[in-house]
Amino acid sequence: MAHAYSTLFFLEDNKKDKSFIFSFDGSGDFSTMEFFLIQNDTVKLIKKNIFPHSLGLFYTAFTQLIGFNNYGDEYKFMGLAGFGKPTYYDQLKKIIISIDPFKLDISYFNLPIVDYSNNFPQINKIYSDKLENIFFQKEKVFERDYNLKICKDIACSVQKIFEDIVINLLNNFKEKYKVERVYLTGGCSFNSSLVGKLVDSNIFKNIYLGPNPGDAGGAIGSAFYFCKKKKIKIFGEQSINFSGPAFSNEDINKQVISKISNNNEYKIIYFENFDNLSKKTAELLKLESIIFWFQDHMEWGPRALGNRSILADPSKKKIKDFININVKKREPFRPFAVSILEQFANETFWMNRHLSPNMNVVFKTRDHIIKNVSRYCSH
């Protein structure tokens, strides 16, 4: 219920229209998927999938299998999928016994155990030797390296299976209950490639995601659930995207500027006028500078939405590699999000009536943009 209420469905217009919430993740209270029907501002649980038959567990197992072992590395796996081909699609589909209800062949998996003893979650190996033997022993691959074709193709195959199953489940629900609006939540809805495919499928007129649909979103979801249950009025559109700490110019001057002002390595310029600051920033970006942008309240959620962001000019061919290697110090295949003024978004991307203010949808770039960018970057 905390996941369901974190979608802020009750703040949207047209509350009397039928819609539904789809929550899916590794597991919570022994549930791995839940379908809620919303009508007349009431929430009714229609069906749920029970642990350990979990799409999240399925996805995490393969994330670990190719060498991404840290808790929460699934976003890396999703990014790598774009570099592979679905070579193993049919083979991996056999691990899934049924789609609706979703059921895994558990012999390929170990039950997850999350350990918090080191102040950061760690998870055990959740793929079994049986799953490992399918790929790596037969291929005589003993080192897991994301540069290997087999790892890219596994990622691509799993991502496609993941997308096909979710779209199939949601389409079945839509046909049965005749709904046009869906709210996605739970850790698996962070998979922005999946959300993009769902937008592209045109199954629903409207697809909604909050800024923090994962476990952290459950905190605000539980608060909203309490308010609704106690009939405490929640006013207006809640601006929770930017609800973190903020710092005034006085704070920054005291804590930062005064401490480095005598250091010759830094040149400090104060702009009274924000337009002048923006103009100077644009000039520096054009000169291939990297900008560390800090303003207002911090984003609530895992995406950098502009208040705490690294900015660079995407038309510079090697800028992505430079930031990945020298600034973020991460894998070179990792992508960056494009930031664009809303009035130009739809003519740049195929958005199918949707927006992505929380950076949670991967849209297709329109063909004429790809051609122009390719031509521009080649010079």
pLDDT tens, 184-240?
999 999 999 999 999 999 999 999 998 899 988 999 899 989 998 998 887 655 567
Asked whether residue 296 carries a pLDDT value surpassing 50, the answer given is: yes
Higher pLDDT, 8 or 96: 96
Q: Which two tokens stand for residue 168?
A: 């199939």
Determine the pLDDT at residue 378. 41
**One domain, residues 331 and 233:** no
DSSP string, 235-288: -SS---TT-S----HHHHIIIIIHHHTT-TT------SSHHHHHHHHHHHHHTT
Determine the pLDDT at residue 164. 97
- The model's confidence at residue 360, banded by pLDDT at 50, 70 and 90, is very high
| 249 in a structural domain | no
The set of residues, in sequence order, having a beta carbon less than 8 Å from that of 181 and lying 6+ positions away, is: 12, 14, 17, 18, 19, 20, 204, 205, 206, 207, 208
Q: Evaluate whether 337 touches 361 at the Cβ level (below 8 Å).
A: no
Determine the pLDDT at residue 101. 93
CA distances from 258 to 251, 261, 263, 270 (A): 10, 5, 10, 13
Determine the pLDDT at residue 372. 80
Comparing C-alpha atoms, which of 136, 156, 162, 165 is closest to residue 65? 136
| Ramachandran class of 167: left when φ > 0, alpha when ψ lies in -120 to 50, beta otherwise | alpha
CA distances from 284 to 62, 135, 287, 305 (A): 42, 48, 5, 20
Per 3-state DSSP, what percentage of the chain is helix, strand, and coil (rounded to 5)? 40, 15, 45
**One domain, residues 236 and 347:** no
Residue whose entry in the numeric block shows the structure tokens 């850790």: 187
Determine the pLDDT at residue 15. 58
| 117 in a structural domain | no
CATH of residue 310's domain is: 3.90.870.20
| 125 in a structural domain | no
Strands 122-123 and 114-115: antiparallel
**One domain, residues 43 and 145:** yes
Q: How many structural domains compose the chain?
A: 2
Asked whether residue 13 carries a pLDDT value surpassing 80, the answer given is: no
Q: How far apart are the C-alpha atoms of 123 and 70, rounded to whole Å? A: 8
Among 14-18, 30-34, 108-112, 325-329, the range scoring the smallest mean pLDDT is: 14-18
| 11 in a structural domain | yes
Q: Evaluate whether 366 touches 347 at the Cβ level (below 8 Å).
A: yes
What domain range includes position 267?
Answer: 261-377
Task: Provide the CA 361 distance to its chain's centre, in angstroms.
Answer: 8
Q: Which two tokens stand for residue 281?
A: 């920033």
DSSP string, 70-86: STTTHHHHHHHHTTS--
- The model's confidence at residue 379, banded by pLDDT at 50, 70 and 90, is very low
CATH of residue 58's domain is: 3.30.420.40
**One domain, residues 204 and 265:** no
**One domain, residues 180 and 318:** no
Please report which helix (H) or strand (E) contains residue 20, including its range: strand 19-28
**One domain, residues 101 and 213:** yes
**One domain, residues 222 and 309:** no
Q: Which two tokens stand for residue 248?
A: 């005034």
